[in-house]
Structure 1
Amino acid sequence: MRCSSRRLTSYHLMMTLLILWSVLNALLLTCHVGHWQLESRLNHLLLLIFAADYLLRLIRTPDRKTFLIHSAFDLLGIIPMHPIFAVFRLGRLVRLALYHHLFWRLGLAGKWTHAFHRFLYGTGFIYLFSISIVIIVLSALLFSVSEHQSLADSLWWAVTTATTVGYGDDTPHTAVGKIVATGLMFGGIGFIGLLTSTITDFFTRQPAAQNSAPALSPDETRQLLQKLDHLTQQVDQLQTEVKRLAHQSATHHSK
């Protein structure tokens, strides 16, 4: 059992180092710093490692639905369109920190971690964000093929179109490209709007939730009333006992 725990800890430590390495390498590639050819090969190698790790964990997990939900950022981190997608692998570091109770050891657990988990899963942010990324990536891929543009330029076009910025530096000229752009305008903008409204709604409701007491369920209300009745009975019995002792004391002094 102890050997298995050590292996798991070593595996998590190795993945942590690889994640940090891959993110740093992706930032260097994006900023065009260092030896581009070497960093590009390293990026492809790390992408294969994380893709194989994701597939192995998906095959071995007993609950694939839960795995897909909690590992959404891992899936986004192995999208081979642009090195910057490696940044999504940092989401796994947060899960590893929660698994080993690092936030609790550092005194950061509690309210912050609960709010973070509620923001990701309770509001549905992780689902909307994943769907938005998938729509943008697929649109960029189709735009790249139909308009004969690079994946990086197509991704830039998809992001500016989905966010309604629309700089106009890249525009579709073919019929397929215009159809893809139309689909992105309707689907992408809709999900981006839901995403931003979810974020706004979460932060605007936080002060109200902190100032208001949580509502009790019918079962909790019934249990609370039962405890209150029991406490009232105990107080009545205590008052009766105090009166009896006071009466005995007065009788004893009169004699």
Structure 2
Amino acid sequence: MAKHRVKKSLIAYHVIVTVLTFWSVGNVLLMLLKFGDYHVESVINNGLLVVFALDYLWRLLRTHDRKIFLIQSTFDLLGIIPMHPVFAFFRLGRLVRLIRFHHLFWKMRIAGKWTQIYHRFIYKTGFIYLFSISVAIIVLSAFLFSVSEKQTLGNSLWWAITTATTVGYGDETPHTAFGKIVASFLMVGGIGFIGLLTSTITGFITKRAAQSSAAEESQEKDELPILMAKIDTLTGKVDDLQTKLDALEKPSHKKTKP
């Protein structure tokens, strides 16, 4: 009975998290599209940010293995960074884990190879670690740039992203000595980790393509003996049919002789 109550409370908690996640993402979309009262939407966004931050802290304190929790909840941590409302989109990663926790894809019979590919790409390739470090470098650099250059967090984040990705539009540039030092570290560290991130994605896609090609070649090799056996069987049947036709033609030739 107690387990049943715990399960019902856990499901209710996950439903509330799901509703709040969709609400926060929808609210951010309204803010980005400038639809509705921006002030009210900003207050809602800040309130939901506090709720998700408290939820993250509560789960961190209750977990038995905090190292595993920090790795698995990387997107949750990114979703509570108060740099820009767009970080709320990282909260959608929580929904993916809830779907896996309740085995919803398996229950709906739509789980397949792509879920295994997703897990292999996110964790086994180290993508989640590189992505987390890259985002941490960009966010920290943006924060330091905002403090040193007296810029808004939004503009600072834009500067950090364009600098780390080597785009460099030049609309935001450091003028103070400390800002230039931050930019130098971002150029070296950010570009390095983003390069590793790009190579990880490219390597995974290349490996998948090579595995698919090898699987097709292996399948063709496995099917070749079967195909040859079928051809031999068909050839035998044709020969047998030809023999029967020859046997039928011989009596007809004898009757036509004078």
Q: What TM-score range do you get, normalising by the shorter chain?
A: 0.7 to 0.9
Question: Which amino acid counterpart does residue 176 of structure 2 have in structure 1?
Answer: T
* Counterpart position of 1:178: 180
Separation in 1 of the partners of 2:75 and 2:131?
A: 10
How many residue pairs end up in the alignment? 213
Three-state SS of the structure 2 residue aligned to 1:169 is coil
Q: Shift of residue 196 of structure 1?
A: 0.7
**1:211-245 Cα shifts (integer Å, max 9, x gaps):** 447xxxxxxxxxxxxxxxxxxxxxxxxxxxxxxxx
Q: Counterparts of 1:141-180 in structure 2 under 5 Å?
A: 141-180=143-182
Question: Which amino acid counterpart does residue 183 of structure 2 have in structure 1?
Answer: A
**1:24-72 Cα shifts (integer Å, max 9, x gaps):** 1112122222111100110110000000000000000111111111000
Which is further off, 195-204 or 104-113?
A: 104-113
**1:145-195 Cα shifts (integer Å, max 9, x gaps):** 111111000000000000000011111111111111100000000001000
| Structure 1 unmatched ranges of 5 or more | 214-255
Q: Does 1:27 align with 2:29?
A: yes
Q: Residue 83 of structure 1 is aligned with which of 73, 82, 85?
A: 85
**1:86-141 Cα shifts (integer Å, max 9, x gaps):** 00000010000011111112332131111000000000000000000000001001
| Structure 2 unmatched ranges of 5 or more | 216-258
Q: Residue 119 of structure 1 is aligned with which of 115, 118, 121?
A: 121
Separation in 1 of the partners of 2:139 and 2:29?
A: 19
**1:71-91 Cα shifts (integer Å, max 9, x gaps):** 000000000010000000000
Separation in 1 of the partners of 2:168 and 2:105?
A: 41
Question: Which amino acid counterpart does residue 204 of structure 1 have in structure 2?
Answer: T
* Counterpart position of 1:68: 70
Separation in 1 of the partners of 2:187 and 2:111?
A: 40
Identity %: 65
Q: Does 1:5 align with 2:7?
A: yes
When the two structures are superposed, what TM-score results if normalisation uses the length of structure 1?
0.82
Three-state SS of the structure 2 residue aligned to 1:27 is helix
Q: Counterparts of 1:1-255 in structure 2 under 5 Å?
A: 1-212=3-214
Larger Rg: 2
Separation in 1 of the partners of 2:212 and 2:64?
A: 37
Separation in 2 of the partners of 1:40 and 1:157?
A: 23
Three-state SS of the structure 1 residue aligned to 2:109 is coil
What's the Cα RMSD here?
1.0
Separation in 2 of the partners of 1:132 and 1:119?
A: 17
Separation in 2 of the partners of 1:157 and 1:108?
A: 42
* Counterpart position of 2:247: none
Separation in 1 of the partners of 2:169 and 2:213?
A: 43
Separation in 2 of the partners of 1:64 and 1:142?
A: 28
Three-state SS of the structure 1 residue aligned to 2:25 is helix
Separation in 2 of the partners of 1:77 and 1:30?
A: 16
Three-state SS of the structure 2 residue aligned to 1:164 is coil
Separation in 2 of the partners of 1:19 and 1:67?
A: 19
